[in-house]
Amino acid sequence: MKKACWISAGILVLLMVVSGILTIISINSSSLARNRIGLVRIEGPIIDSEKTVNEIKEYARDASIKAILLRVNSPGGAVAPSQEIYAEVKKAVEKKPVVVSMGAVAASGGYYISAPASRIVANPGTITASIGVIMEIPNISGLMQKIGVRSEVVKSGKHKDLASAFRDLGDDERLILQSVIDNVHEQFIDAVALGRDMEGNDVRKIADGRIFTGEQAVEAGLVDELGSLEDAIDIAAELAGISGKPKVIEKKEKRSFLDLLNSSISGKINDIIPTIELKYLFSP
């Protein structure tokens, strides 16, 4: 009888210990679930915004994600995708902290998308800023003449073949294109001024396409502080009120063979066929 009582007591104690361990694990798991930071990587030229915008949206909606960290390592890219990402970052900041960690380069469009963040962190040697717009127009008219080929154009209006690669650029065409460049440049300046809470004229003084190091960008008010990716994680955790080490999560991109094939074909076509495109791009 006494032996049975001891066995029962032992089982009860064991159950209590197991229950306590499970409770601790549950509490820790719950704490980790509340201490999450969503990491979005923007790497290489900004050509399309869909993936980045969707990730930011998802993290902004997720209540378990307390802050969003953007790791930007990009020289910039096309204007419209940069503006779409900028707009989504601006929306996300209204819901939770968004911290940018700049890598080797976060210039032009790479800086544009960073501007509205809650905090911008750069390495001392990061190449950033390059606030400007560029349009490159290929001119193969000389080559065409050499090989004896010419282009016949039928158009509905005087400027329908504006900036054609098959002839020299006219003076009136240059004025039209310059007005477009100037307008998009002003949009860039306005976006930086709004995102960084700076005066438009102060931004305009440094918005001539020049680049800055991370250190210089801090002095110019374009970056908040110097630090690594780990430093940016700690800053995001602090802004979000996370105690302890945060759990950083990120989406893993899944690309099928067809996706790779399509992107490769698209790239080859763009190499062959001259296109006119406005770019927020730092291109040394």
Which residues lie below 8 Å from residue 77, measured CB to CB, with a gap of 6+? 45, 46, 47, 108, 109, 279, 280, 281
**pLDDT tens figures, 216-235:** 999 999 999 999 999 999 99
**Tens-digit pLDDT profile for residues 162-217:** 877 778 888 898 899 899 999 999 999 999 999 999 999 999 999 999 999 999 99
Tokens encoding 280: 């927020």
How far apart (Å, rounded) are the C-alpha atoms in residues 110 and 112?
6
* Domain edges within the chain: 33-252+272-281
Q: What are phi and psi of 277, to 5 degrees?
A: -145, 135
Place 57 in a pLDDT band, splitting at 50, 70 and 90: very high
* CA dist., res. 139 & res. 122, Å (int): 38
Task: Specify whether 252 is catalytic.
Answer: no
Of 101-105, 175-179, 233-237, 271-275, minimum mean pLDDT range: 271-275
In contact, 133 and 184? CB cutoff 8 Å: yes
Task: Spot the catalytic one: 49, 108, 114, 118.
Answer: 108
CATH number for the segment(s) 33-252+272-281 = 3.90.226.10
Q: Is 90 a catalytic residue?
A: no
Per the CB < 8 A criterion, the answer to whether 207 and 37 are in contact is: no
**Quick one: what percent of the chain has pLDDT higher than 90?**
59
Chain segment 107-146, per-residue pLDDT in tens: 999 999 999 999 999 999 999 999 999 888 887 878 778 8
Q: Which two tokens stand for residue 107?
A: 């210039």
Neighbouring-strand partners of residue 70: 40, 100
Q: How far apart are CA 151 and CA 173, in angstroms?
A: 19
Provide the whole-model pTM.
0.80
Asked if pLDDT for residue 70 goes beyond 80, the answer is: yes
Strand, helix or coil at 235? helix
Contacts (Cβ under 8 Å, ≥6 apart) of 38: 55, 58, 59, 62, 65, 67, 68, 69, 249, 250
DSSP 103: E
Interstrand relation of 98-107 and 36-43 (parallel, antiparallel or unpaired): unpaired
Catalytic residue (choose from 51, 57, 155, 160): 160
Place of tokens 């900004």: 46
